Structure 1
């Protein structure tokens, strides 16, 4: 068997080194900006994963994505771990370690077994932070890609051959993180590795180097201050702090001079708080500001002034919101009152009963009046007096038109005793009332 080791193409090597250097430069620069705020955030994490490798001998549904061996070796277990440092939501750097083995897929192929261990240093780009994505799931899903390089140690066992090899390996990945809680994330990852050796499959064929892919699932454990996320999540405190540090100060807030000390700024903040304490307003903003003053960021004069201006604007916004809510409530009450008045039916006008000749029976005569106006007023008065005393008093009180007079009568009653009973109850209001019987004899 002819065995040969070929090196990785110099152009790929230089590209990978350049990318790694760029990752480190951007990560360190962003990290320095974030540290100015001293915001609490987690940076370190450890990743544990497992999966399967794929090394096809060509063709297949996925083609090159399945790797490239001269002797096929698919679905072999691989286990890995990594130590990662997150500079900010966009950039991370990690040292990854993976181990596993390859062996011939089919019994008709040349038999071989290759045990390997490789370590890589990789830059990681988190797309939510890199592209400033603010989609609905950005708090729970974070896609990423990575590229790096390292060393691979392999041990080949084949018919009549045992060989050990040390070579470079270029590694690239694409995957997604899924938020579980602040201390842990789940991730799914696809790897594509380009080895600097052509010995992994025990056969030196036409390929310049062996290539293999892997699909992995694992957990990332995040270490740091309790109650904070890892910096690689877009919602982590370091992201907000680092961005706010690059915003200009409001025009109403003067930038402190080099001679301005922290004590001077704190004194100004306290005087602002005292001057506002007499205002009859929602004072929750002062509580928020007090919490900020106790945080590490309060040691920076510029951020104290920014926070003071922000707290004042929040107080004004709350006052305006309360005033608008009160005005809207008043207008709504007025609208409901007008609507109720518009739909409320007007009280029905009671029809006055009149009779030229009363039916036979016993009545109470309230009085005899010279015209309709006086009689009608008395009719309404008597009906109101009898409300609750008899049923439907408007049906029992009527005006008897007798010559030029108008008599107001109550009745008829079943007998004189009933009439006298009711009369005794209203006699104090109508002293001239008396019992009368029709027809008159």
Structure 2
């Protein structure tokens, strides 16, 4: 009887999981997840969310007659060990783009060859594979989004992989203990992802183009953490969105793919600017950085976004632009500590999108207008005109009614800080 191990990484689902479907061609299948201690402390929020995802996946696999085998240690060593124990001849896994993932894939192939175990890489983390689209004039990736979007939209997408009907484990394998899921923002797992998807398709996606920038309305899908951990297939979401004629939302999924193809050829995206010439204007301001991190800048819309990040492990996309631009374009602080702070707290934090978007906002990345500035006051008056979003996250300002909450030069006599920078009068703010 043939046996295959599927090493699950960021594809923690049964539906449209090409690596799992390929493993199911064997008579016996070992679904495996290896907890790498070197990643455990990167983000308490994501670690807790991951543990919830694994608990849900184990329950779903058991419903098919299988189980989730869990090990702790070096992913390559543990995978080879399980494969040899199960007498597997094949290991399947989803292909990824980060430096960590590429190094893991290379090492796994080397060890697999040494032990005469085949290693197969499959799609599944994006709608279109990161290396499949190349610009016509040459180059390894698209540097501008719009031509990539045209090529991406014209591309014929792969068919969704079949969901397994039954999984048979080899005898004698110990399942391994899962970490306790713990409490915190969000609910991890494929089951929660599919419930949220159903609700989004019924009640939210049709209005997305008109309401996605409505900060107090929070009219976004909040599916990004489930995409980050692969609890939801990006292809499934894209196909469903197309059926609803939701082009603005499909475009956002394309942005996600765009940064994956950028990260594929720029493995140091988190630390090295894509436009080095724009990466030398930063100043050191430890106090400014700390006030920004704590949501105490004295600019209400910025502080509201930063406090939402800490409370929910998530931030409205418009707030992400405003807060990132405030740190880099207004305070003049390097984008790297900002990206690292987001990465620490965000449930959906991943290397391609977090770093790519930070570089876009800072003017060091893939942006045709690198010198744009997001004026936080103008942004607040446009996207939170009555101050509902600010008062939701900055309780010190709950007594301030209407748009006046966005005017930091008037917020005197309150237990709330003055703005960090010199923009403390109305004329300067509205001129900027």
Q: How does the TM-score come out when normalised to structure 2? A: 0.22
Bigger relative contact order, structure 1 or 2 (CA pairs below 8 A, ≥6 apart): 2
Which structure has more helix as a fraction of its residues? 2
